[in-house]
Structure 1
Amino acid sequence: MNKEELIQKWLDHNLNAQELEAFKQLEDYEALTKLDTNLKHFKAPEHNTSESLEQVLSTIKSNPLNKTNWISTAMKIAAVFVICFGVYFYTTTLDTTFNTIASQKQSIELPDTSVVELNAMSTLAFNKSNWTSKREVTLQGEAFFKVAKGSQFDVKTEDGIISVLGTQFNVKQRDNYFEVICYEGKVAVTYKANTAKLLPGDSFFILDGKLFTTEKENQSTPSWLQNQSRFKSLPYREVIAEFERQHDVLISLENIDDSQLFTGSFTHNDIEIALKSITLPLHLTYSKTDNIITLKRE
């Protein structure tokens, strides 16, 4: 049964036990039930509907000109109710969203005092109105989380879900790249119906759909918080992509294999030093035209 059919049967109070459980799993469940609760406050007092109808019809019949006015007034009242309900539903389901552009980082405090450090070209979204009942954020890009202790805290990405109670961890979700590093506490990562538990120093790393085993992380925070990007045996294309995000440039490769592995780092503070860091180890040269950088073999 699709989502629309479930909602319609719920409105008709015609869900069986199995369908009710499916309805509760809908991401709109809380918003729909909250709207239903508030709509009940608009219930009109009980009255004799037959008697009222006769009075209205009698009035319209005795004065035909009132018929148009009555219909117009009724339509206006209905429009007001529709607008009120629409505004309520919109404001209670609207997400708060943060976006960073190239070379930009942003610190975000969540309603429970949890802190998120958002890396360049990333997006974070969450719903304030539902926060007390569901601590959940959606991430595209990369972010470091310091989660306040409390109920379960979920980070949803296109590749997987990270669940914690109170801890510190980094999530990086880019094209064909998904990595979670635990720095404090315990992290549960759900990826394609499988769940991995991470302790401090543990990593979960997927590249091009393949799971890789990595060494223990010995840093207390990710390097990008100190304006530095570090790589260990990663394809050169990942280095180039991160360089473009941190320095807001476009890089063109000429006769360079972007699948070759690279180990090293570059700074976010000085583009000239950063360029030398990613070219000298591979014996490459570079030239710049405006914000376009071309890398070549020596």
Structure 2
Amino acid sequence: MNREILISKWLNNDLNDQELEAFKMLEDYDDLVKLNEGLQAFKVDDYNTSKELDTVLNTIKSSKKQSTYWFKPLMRVAAILAICFGLYYYTTTLDTTITTEFAQKTTIELPDASSVSLNAKSLLIFNKKDWKHHREVELNGEAFFKVAKGSSFKVKTKTGLITVYGTQFNVKQWNHYFEVICYEGLVGVTYNSQERKLNPGDSFLIIDGKIIAKEKENRSQPSWLSNESTFKSSPYKTVIAEFERQYGVDITLMNIDSEQLFTGSFAHDNIDVAIKAITLPLHVTYSKTNNTIILKRE
């Protein structure tokens, strides 16, 4: 994780144990801690750095006629105060960014007690400071949402916009794949400027730019929350991509049609069992070397 993200998460008290250790290894760790302690006395909701600096400078100019002895020291103080206030205002308005790596899942509690469970290799962005007025997140990957009742809640993705009012739903946004499943409440999905309402059990699925009809969802939550990926008449390439995310491996297909449909599932806790689950039904053989798997049809 890069330095800027570590500092942002530290200021928002969002560091986990591993990230905290990485933050402490930064060269300027001691300076950052001292600066943050000094800024605690300056916490305000809104601060106009330029306006306050002008006020200080005007005061200095008016007093300059009486004495020039204090001008340079006061200029230094004014500059330091402006920088401190500006730094505080900037850091408290930064977005919070949560990411997961291969084979990793995590659950985040949002400022209104809504929760988001992130699947492997996913990214979620939101802003705590403006949350009361704009309950909005950006998602790249897959996430399951439990939204607390309140004002409009929106999930922005590259493909479509999801709007909800107190509900449970799953969003999956990958290259050439976009799916929203409503498990509770009411979900609105806006795609190509048109909104479609989803009731519990309804889905909205787009693969390679085409809207795909799906049967009613009868689960109470997505299977990946129970460490299992389930597919029904899904292109084989989407199965392979999900397998790579869950196990952190690279898979190469040989003499296999990646568009053929697959129905089945694989678990996330045993790679040997999982690879058989996605190869045996299609009569595909495989070989595995370290993090590379080759699937082949004779």
Fold match (TM-score > 0.5): yes
**Match in the other structure for 1:120:** 120
Question: Are the aligned partners of 2:52 and 2:82 in contact in 1 as well (CA < 8 Å)?
Answer: no
Larger gyration radius, structure 1 or structure 2? 1
**Match in the other structure for 1:289:** 289
Query: Which piece of structure 1 moves more, 258-267 or 176-185?
Result: 258-267
Unaligned runs of 5+ in 1: 1-32, 61-65
How many corresponding residue pairs?
252
User: 3-state DSSP class of the match of 1:214?
Assistant: coil
- Measured after TM superposition, the shift of residue 104 of structure 1 is 0.7
- Measured after TM superposition, the shift of residue 35 of structure 1 is 4.2
Is 2:183 the partner of 1:183?
yes
**Match in the other structure for 2:64:** 56
**Match in the other structure for 1:225:** 225
Summarize the Cα distance change of 1:247–1:58 in structure 2 as closer, same or farther, 3 Å threshold.
closer
Letter in 2 for 1:194: Q
Letter in 2 for 1:289: T
Distance 1:192 1:153 in 2: 20
Letter in 1 for 2:173: Q
Letter in 1 for 2:185: G
Question: Are the aligned partners of 2:182 and 2:201 in contact in 1 as well (CA < 8 Å)?
Answer: yes
Distance 1:184 1:245 in 2: 27
Is 2:221 the partner of 1:213?
no
- Measured after TM superposition, the shift of residue 157 of structure 1 is 1.2
Distance 1:269 1:56 in 2: 73
- Measured after TM superposition, the shift of residue 58 of structure 1 is 6.5
- Measured after TM superposition, the shift of residue 57 of structure 1 is 4.2
Is 2:107 the partner of 1:99?
no
- Measured after TM superposition, the shift of residue 34 of structure 1 is 4.1
User: 3-state DSSP class of the match of 1:266?
Assistant: strand
Deviations 1:184-217 (A, max 9, x none): 0000111221111110011111111111111111
Distance 1:59 1:145 in 2: 63
Structure 1 segments, 4+ long, off by >6 Å, are 38-43
**Match in the other structure for 2:88:** 88
Letter in 2 for 1:193: S
Unaligned runs of 5+ in 2: 1-44
After TM superposition, the score normalised by the length of structure 1 is 0.78
**Match in the other structure for 1:77:** 77
Letter in 2 for 1:248: G
Letter in 2 for 1:84: C
Letter in 2 for 1:183: Y
- Measured after TM superposition, the shift of residue 73 of structure 1 is 3.1
- Measured after TM superposition, the shift of residue 79 of structure 1 is 2.0
Q: CA RMSD in A?
A: 2.4
Question: Are the aligned partners of 2:53 and 2:78 in contact in 1 as well (CA < 8 Å)?
Answer: no
User: 3-state DSSP class of the match of 1:244?
Assistant: helix
- Measured after TM superposition, the shift of residue 99 of structure 1 is 0.9
Q: Percent identity?
A: 59
Distance 1:129 1:173 in 2: 26
Distance 2:67 2:80 in 1: 24
Distance 1:244 1:293 in 2: 10
Distance 2:283 2:66 in 1: 95
Deviations 1:104-129 (A, max 9, x none): 11111111111111100001121111
- Measured after TM superposition, the shift of residue 77 of structure 1 is 3.5
- Measured after TM superposition, the shift of residue 131 of structure 1 is 1.4
Distance 1:41 1:225 in 2: 50
